[in-house]
Amino acid sequence: MTPNADDVQLDIVDAAKLLGVPVHCVERLERECPTFPARLRLPHGTGGWRLSSLLGWAALREEVGDGVA
């Protein structure tokens, strides 16, 4: 997918704060997954749900432990 002017560049920690996900969840995800991007490009109209799902997974994993796959 090629970037366009409507795409949003977002720092992952800022995104976590906006969605109410504790920052330490994102920091753990960054530590455990070296390919995890510190900045995300969200394609206009398509990326928000993916970001919220990823950060929600990070928060859930922190809440219930490493059993979340």
Residue boundaries of the structural domains of the chain: 8-63
Instruction: pLDDT tens for the chain, 69 residues: list them.
Output: 455 555 556 677 777 777 777 778 777 777 777 666 666 555 555 555 566 666 666 666 666 555 544
Angle, in degrees to the nearest 10, between helices 23-32 and 48-64: 90
The whole-number pLDDT of residue 69 equals 45
